């Protein structure tokens, strides 16, 4: 709470201090533990998110083509337990059910992605348009709007049509720019009368680094030192082209906005009095969020990326930098192609300077940065190995965006925490804590003057978590994947998030503590339902032992 200043003549000086503190809102900047009670600006948009491959299932139904994730997940050894998104949450068949959950939460917006190969089975518009795929998204959009929920639509959440990967090498090839533009144009044409918020790419960092550098994600290529930079280069150009297409052909009629969703961890110097650590932490963020944001807001890659990759490329005896360059025309074409910035944020790292050897064989995106990442073992990490809860990093990242890119309009497009698969506990107190603290840091950032217009909890449902399969659960709603019907159960965090939404923030300590207590109390009935269902499905699981005997008879 802001300290109260009791007015009296001799307290004038203190009052002035209080007022200026409220203005700058810097009173908690170095106090990580403090909680700020207050509300969000009127009209702030609350939401939750999902993506097509992670939730839809129906991977080969109704004329859908293959995506690189269908193919990748079917290869042995790529995904934990060799799981796939073949059926996932069966979201394709559960549009009405899922919109009911969104309604139950009283969300203002819902973020989902369109599967490119569901609309264009080969990825190429002139080959074939799958009208059944169009109908699916028509139904979802209409149903959301009937319920006064604003759709925020991502055009690329990682599921590239497999044909484009096989024919052209996917994002290694410049021809993706035109193919993606045709797909986006089709979406604007068919859905743009109803969809007013478009996100071109979700987390291109992951596409580039995990898809084309480390190979942990589809398409699984390990083109170390060059693959990620090349993929990112084409993605940035594709984003810009789609923005221009919307701007010149659709904006006047449809009056929507086109942005991109960038992910970024915050990087904090290990030693804030050490210049080398300060620079290394800055490099960490520039190589992450800045890699994409700087061209889009300023027209070119961050200077530090050009310097470091350029210098290492020379040391490796290469004639040119492994980081591609934009021509002057491209720079001005790319600069300013963002009506709002989507920010996906989950965690923070401590960063220290570390020189890496620059031999040609060891070249990689990671070694180009000359830094080491550290974590504080006291940070909570209930689920994913990489996801430590460090709320204060969120406020710093948002302030970084504000100062670096001219205070753009921001929608937080992803933020949340996971738990392990085996955790069938619906009373997810740790998620309540995570949301409470991260959302509070976002509120502080807004008080700092950061222009955040909306927040998207990640994710609505438990779902396919890429190479981790179903082993990590991010959902507000638990999904029972062992049951063919994929029933959804609310976790306690549903109740808590709902309260934040209905109060548009955090009214006071007593109330917020009350929400938490009530949320944890009410989830015990859902826990019982789930436990009963689990017992039942265990009984069913024993049935096959009996069947062969009947067969023999
Ligand atoms: C970012 C990705 O966009 C999303 O699909 C994923 O579920 C989250 N990270 C959590 O790993």
Q: pLDDT tens digits for 125-143?
A: 999 999 999 999 999 999 9
Say if residue 262 is preceded by a cis peptide, omega within 30 of 0: no
Q: How confident is the model at residue 4 (pLDDT cuts 50, 70, 90)?
A: very low
Q: How confident is the model at residue 164 (pLDDT cuts 50, 70, 90)?
A: very high
Q: How confident is the model at residue 484 (pLDDT cuts 50, 70, 90)?
A: very high
Is 233 part of any domain? Answer: yes
CATH number at residue 455: 3.20.20.80
pLDDT at 111 over 70: yes
Q: In the structure, which protein residues have their CB atom closer than 6 angstroms to any atom of ligand 1?
A: 51, 54, 202-203, 263, 344, 414, 465, 474
The whole-angstrom separation of Cα 404 and Cα 338 is: 14
| 414 counts as catalytic | yes
* Distance of CA 209 from the midpoint of ligand 1 (Å): 14
Protein residue whose Cα sits closest to atom 6 of ligand 1: 465
Which of 49, 88, 203 to probe ligand 1 with, by most ligand atoms within 8 A of CB?
203
* Distance of CA 532 from the midpoint of ligand 1 (Å): 31
Lookup result for tokens 């290469």: 318
Is 490 part of any domain? Answer: no
pLDDT of residue 116: 98
pLDDT of residue 526: 81
Model confidence pLDDT, tens digit, residues 236-291 = 999 999 999 999 999 999 999 999 999 999 999 999 999 999 999 999 999 999 99
pLDDT of residue 531: 83
Q: How confident is the model at residue 14 (pLDDT cuts 50, 70, 90)?
A: very low
Q: How confident is the model at residue 12 (pLDDT cuts 50, 70, 90)?
A: very low
User: Using CB atoms within 10 A of its CB, is residue 102 exposed (0-12), middle (13-18) or buried (19+)?
Assistant: buried
Provide φ and ψ at 149, rounded to 5°: -110, 125
Q: How many domains does the chain have?
A: 1
* Distance of CA 528 from the midpoint of ligand 1 (Å): 29
Report which DSSP code applies to 195: -
pLDDT at 212 over 70: yes
Taking residues 531-536, report their average pLDDT: 81
pLDDT of residue 33: 67
* Across 12-21, 82-91, 165-174, 436-445, least confident range: 12-21
Tokens of 294: 């700087």
* Distance of CA 492 from the midpoint of ligand 1 (Å): 21
Across the chain, what does the average pLDDT equal? Answer: 91
Q: Buried b vs exposed e over 137-172: b needs ≥16 C-beta within 10 Å?
A: beebbebbeeeebbbbbbbbbbbbbbbbbeeebbbb
pLDDT of residue 550: 30
Model confidence pLDDT, tens digit, residues 350-394 = 999 999 887 777 899 999 999 999 999 999 988 899 999 999 999
pLDDT of residue 17: 31
Is 309 part of any domain? Answer: yes
Tokens of 27: 């009173």
The whole-angstrom separation of Cα 262 and Cα 506 is: 27
Is 546 part of any domain? Answer: no
Q: How confident is the model at residue 541 (pLDDT cuts 50, 70, 90)?
A: low
CB 308 within 8 A of CB 302: no
The model's pTM: 0.92
Is 173 part of any domain? Answer: yes
Could you tell me which residues come within 8 angstroms of residue 140 by beta carbon, excluding any fewer than 6 positions away? 95, 99, 112, 151
DSSP per residue, 443-472: HHHHHHT--EEEEEES-SB----GGGTTSE
Is 377 part of any domain? Answer: yes
* Distance of CA 224 from the midpoint of ligand 1 (Å): 22
Which of 209, 211, 458 to probe ligand 1 with, by most ligand atoms within 8 A of CB?
458
Is 534 part of any domain? Answer: no
- 10 Å Cβ neighbour count for 66? 20
Of all atoms in ligand 1, which is nearest to the CA of residue 384? Answer: 11
Is 94 part of any domain? Answer: yes
pLDDT of residue 546: 34
DSSP per residue, 124-155: -TTT---HHHHHHHHHHHHHHHHTT-EEEEEE
Q: Give, for 329, the enclosing helix (H) or strand (E).
A: helix 328-334
What angle, 0 to 180 degrees and rounded to 10, lies between the N-to-C axes of helices 275-285 and 303-315?
100
pLDDT of residue 538: 67
The whole-angstrom separation of Cα 221 and Cα 208 is: 10
Which of 49, 91, 414 to probe ligand 1 with, by most ligand atoms within 8 A of CB?
414
Expressed as residue numbers, the domain containing 283 is 41-353+362-484
Report which DSSP code applies to 3: P
pLDDT of residue 411: 98
The whole-angstrom separation of Cα 348 and Cα 391 is: 8
Model confidence pLDDT, tens digit, residues 315-348 = 999 999 999 999 999 999 999 999 999 999 999 9
DSSP per residue, 62-115: TTPPPBHHHHHHHSTTSSGGG--SSSTT-GGG-HHHHHHHHHHTT-SEEEEE--
């Amino acid at each position: 709470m802001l300290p109260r200043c009791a007015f009296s003549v001799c307290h004038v000086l203190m009052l002035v201090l209080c007022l200026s503190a409220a203005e700058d809102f810097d009173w908690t900047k170095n106090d990580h533990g403090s909680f700020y009670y207050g509300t969000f600006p009127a009209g702030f948009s609350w939401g939750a998110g999902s993506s097509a491959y992670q939730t839809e299932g129906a991977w080969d139904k109704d004329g859908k083509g293959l995506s690189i994730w269908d193919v990748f997940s079917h290869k042995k050894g790529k995904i934990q337990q060799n799981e796939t998104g073949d059926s996932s949450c069966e979201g394709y068949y559960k549009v009405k059910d899922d919109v009911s959950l969104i309604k139950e939460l009283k969300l203002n917006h819902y973020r989902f992605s369109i599967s490119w190969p569901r609309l264009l089975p080969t990825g190429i518009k002139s080959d074939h348009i799958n009208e059944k795929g169009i109908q699916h998204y028509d139904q979802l959009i209409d149903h959301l709007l009937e319920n006064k929920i604003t759709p925020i639509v991502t055009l690329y959440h990682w599921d590239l049509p497999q044909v484009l990967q096989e024919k052209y090498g996917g994002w290694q090839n410049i021809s993706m720019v035109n193919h993606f533009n045709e797909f986006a144009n089709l979406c604007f044409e068919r859905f743009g009368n109803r969809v007013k918020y478009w996100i071109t790419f979700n987390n291109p960092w992951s596409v580039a680094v995990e898809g084309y550098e480390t190979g942990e994600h589809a398409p699984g290529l390990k083109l170390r030192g060059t693959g990620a930079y090349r993929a990112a280069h084409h993605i940035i150009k594709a984003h810009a082209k789609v923005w221009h297409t919307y701007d010149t052909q659709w904006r006047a009629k449809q009056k929507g906005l086109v942005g991109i969703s960038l992910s970024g961890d915050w990087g904090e110097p290990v030693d804030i009095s050490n210049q080398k650590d300060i620079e290394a932490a800055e490099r960490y963020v520039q190589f992450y969020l800045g890699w994409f944001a700087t061209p889009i807001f300023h027209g070119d890659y961050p200077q530090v990326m050009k310097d470091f990759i350029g210098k290492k490329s020379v040391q490796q005896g290469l004639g040119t930098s492994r980081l591609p360059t934009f021509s002057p025309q491209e720079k001005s074409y790319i600069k300013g192609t963002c009506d709002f910035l989507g920010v996906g944020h989950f965690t923070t790292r401590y960063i220290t300077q570390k020189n890496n050897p620059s031999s040609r064989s060891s070249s990689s995106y990671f070694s180009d940065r000359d830094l080491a990442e550290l974590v504080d073992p006291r940070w909570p990490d209930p689920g994913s190995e990489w996801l430590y809860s460090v709320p204060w990093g969120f406020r710093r990242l948002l302030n970084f965006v504000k100062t670096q890119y001219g205070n753009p309009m921001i929608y937080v497009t992803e933020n949340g925490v996971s738990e392990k698969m085996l955790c069938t506990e619906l009373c997810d107190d740790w998620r309540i804590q995570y949301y409470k603290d991260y959302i509070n840091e976002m509120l502080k950032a807004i008080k700092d003057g950061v222009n955040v217009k909306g927040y998207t909890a990640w994710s609505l449902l438990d779902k396919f978590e890429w190479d981790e399969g179903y082993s990590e659960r991010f959902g507000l709603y638990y999904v029972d994947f062992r049951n063919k019907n994929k029933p959804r159960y609310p976790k306690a965090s549903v109740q808590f998030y709902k309260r934040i939404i209905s109060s548009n923030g955090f009214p006071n300590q007593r109330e917020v503590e009350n929400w938490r207590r009530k949320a944890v109390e009410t989830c015990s009935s859902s826990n019982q339902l789930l436990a009963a269902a689990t017992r039942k499905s265990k009984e069913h699981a024993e049935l096959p032992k009996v069947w062969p005997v009947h067969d023999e008879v």
